[in-house]
Structure 1
Amino acid sequence: MLYSPHAIHKARILPRTQSGFTIVELSVAVAIAGVLLVSAIALVQVVLRQARANDVVSGIPRMMAQIDKIYARANSYVGLGTEVAIGFGAFDAAFDIFGVAPLRTANNRFGFPTTVDVATVFTGAASNTGFVVTLAGIPTASCADIVSSASASGVRGILVQPEAVVGTRSITPAGIATLTLAGMRAINAGGGAPVPTTGGAAVVQGHLPNGALDIAAMTHARACGTGNASVSIGLINWK
């Protein structure tokens, strides 16, 4: 019997290599993806909010100027209201108009109504010499930017009041009906307690002798410094 000069070796069994991912690795990957997704969503929300705020800011000076232009030769703002302002084009492309006359609404870019009311006793009984454009549903995070920009655009008076319900205006027609110039100027600087003639809103511009923006009042808890999700902002011009 013949034998091979080489020893017969048994084939070695190589250890099996693991393929795929472990549960731990998958869990880590999912967690990282979740964090990235949440961060991306938050960033998108910030960008959208800023873009909407910019649209609101761009529309303010044109809207206020158009109202003043139409009523330049009148002694008062008698007859002015949201529907009338829509009718003569005070609301431009920065606002969305819904409905049919005489019940149209003008929504700001945050999706909530912008209304126009006459301050009927602003400089005296039945004077009708002031008007207020109220922006409802403004996110608190955008409040200071919008107020500062409105101040720089020439708006003479600004009110801010937190909303109990997002989009439900807190600067009401009833409050505007009691608004007086003397009452505004009686406000304590720095966001002090409101007087009845402001309808409970903080006056952040219009009460200081030089007409400057009151930063302390703007950042007060009754204004942009509130913990509420949204505020109403009232823009005031007068004759």
Structure 2
Amino acid sequence: MLQSSLSVKKARSRRHAQSGFTIVELSVAVAIAGVLLVSAIALVQVVLRQSRANDTVSSVPRVMAQIDKIYSRTTSYTGLNTDTAIGFGAFDGVFNITGASPNRIAGNTFGYPTLVNIATGFDGIANSNTGYVVTFTGIPQSSCSDIVTSAAASGVRGIVVAPEVTAGTTALAPAGMTLNGISIATAGTLVRGPATGGATAVALKGPGLQGQLDVAAMTNAAACGTNNSTVSIGLVNWK
């Protein structure tokens, strides 16, 4: 018996309806796409953060070598600050130099200022200016250990780490490293002392550690082990 035209139309209609996606199927597809997108964004952030950390590490020996070169014929670092360091080329293309002298800023790869300060009284003599510190601010806590470890391997003589209350606002004393309980007399030991905004961990090369920095100690809660999202990392040198 021949099918009626109505039956044929219903059959075609059912086949047409079954060829699309159901709401459940669409919901699952959107959910999967969302998960993939979030994962991709997270991966990009990790890669970007690692790249910035690598750039920071690679800049360390260049910055400090240029400062030491300029002051190699002097007995102190008198006159050294961020602006003068920018002026004699201590900061290369890795840094974003903004502003006008004498208030120029050297932005690091994480977008926060890099500071250069004299370590006054570092040798126990007031205003001797025989030391200095290059401070990278706004360093993500997750990048702290990598930067500290690599900086130590690059030949840096001293490292200071302090958790930041506000990202990019240094937790180290702006000048006079002895304000953080740091002096040449403490070389070879780990020092923990007060600092603006929180505790500080310090490691300086000295006889007690056979000239090696106690990098492992920098993972404590006063330094890279902090719960704060960012830290200030100061790299120290002296005459």
The alignment's TM-score, normalised by the length of structure 1, stands at 0.88
Would you say the 8 A contact 1:97–1:105 is kept in 2? Answer: yes
Alpha-carbon distance change, 24 to 84 in structure 1, aligned in 2, over 3 angstroms: same
- Asked whether 1:95 is paired with 2:95, we answer yes
Does residue 121 of the first structure (1) align with residue 121 of the second (2)? yes
**Is this contact kept in 1: 2:157–2:236, CA < 8 A?**
yes
**As a proportion of its length, which structure holds more helix?**
2
Secondary structure in structure 2 of the residue aligned to 1:41: helix
Describe how 1:75-154 pairs up with structure 2 within 5 A. 75-123=75-123, 124-154=125-155
Asked whether the 8 Å contact 2:159–2:235 carries over to 1, the reply is yes
For residue 181 of structure 1, the aligned residue among 181, 184, 188 is: 184
- Contact preservation (8 Å) 2:188, 2:213: no
Runs (5+) with no aligned partner, structure 1: 1-7
Instruction: Show structure 1 runs of 4+ deviating over 6 A.
Output: none
Once the two structures are superposed, residues 5-30 of structure 1 have per-residue CA deviations (whole angstroms, 9 ceiling, x without a partner) of xxx53345436122321111111001
Q: Which residue number corresponds to residue 155 of structure 1?
A: 156
| Structure 1 residue 209: Cα displacement | 2.9
CA-CA distance at 1:187 after TM superposition: 3.7
Contact 2:190/2:203 (<8 A) preserved: no
- Rate the CA distance shift 1:10–1:98 in 2: closer, same or farther, 3 A: closer
Instruction: Could you tell me which runs of 5 or more consecutive residues in structure 2 were left unpaired when the two chains were aligned.
Output: none
Q: For the Cα contact (< 8 Å) 1:187–1:195, is it kept in 2?
A: no
**Which residue identity does 2:167 align to in structure 1?**
V
SS at match of 1:201: strand
Give 3-state SS (helix, strand or coil) of 2:209's partner: coil
CA shift in 2, pair 1:134/1:210, >3 Å: same
Q: Distance in 2 between matches of 1:214 and 1:135?
A: 20
In the TM superposition, residue 238 of structure 1 has moved relative to its aligned partner by: 0.4
Cα RMSD (Å) of the superposition?
Answer: 2.0
Would you say 1:20 and 2:13 are equivalent positions? no
Kindly state the Cα deviation for residue 84 of structure 1 after the two structures are TM-superposed.
Answer: 0.6
Q: Structure 1 pair 84/22, CA: closer, same or farther in 2 (3 Å)?
A: same
Question: How much does 1:212 deviate?
Answer: 1.6
Q: Percent identity?
A: 61
Are residues 1:9 and 2:2 paired? Answer: yes
The Cα of 1:148 is off from its aligned counterpart by 1.1
